[in-house]
Amino acid sequence: MSLHPAAPDSGIVFRRSDRAGAEIRACWRNVVEQPLCTRLDDGEGLSVSTIEHLMAAFNGLEIDNAVIELDGPEVPVMDGSAAPFVFLIECAGIVEQDAPRRAIKVLKPVTVGEPGKSATLAPDDGFSMSFAIDFASDAISRQDITIGVDPETFKSDISRARTFGFLHEVDQMRAAGLALGGSLDNAVVINGHQVLNREGLRYVDEFVRHKVLDALGDLYLAGAPIIGHFRGMRSGHALNRRLLEALFADATAWCPTTLARRLPSELPWVATAPRRASA
Catalytic positions, written as ranges:
237
Among 194, 201, 196, 203, which Cα is nearest to 182's?
196
Neighbouring C-beta atoms of residue 231, cutoff 10 Å: 19
Q: Please state, in angstroms and rounded to a whole number, the distance separating the CA atoms of residues 241 and 119.
A: 10
What Å distances lie between residue 236 and 163, 188, 197, 232, 271, CA to CA? Answer: 12, 17, 23, 8, 34
DSSP 206: H
Q: Please state, in angstroms and rounded to a whole number, the distance separating the CA atoms of residues 200 and 190.
A: 11
Helices (H) and strands (E) in the chain, counts: 6, 19
Can you give the three-state secondary structure of 68-110, one letter per residue? Answer: EEECCCECCCCCCCCHHHHHHHHHHCEEEEEEECEEEEECCCE
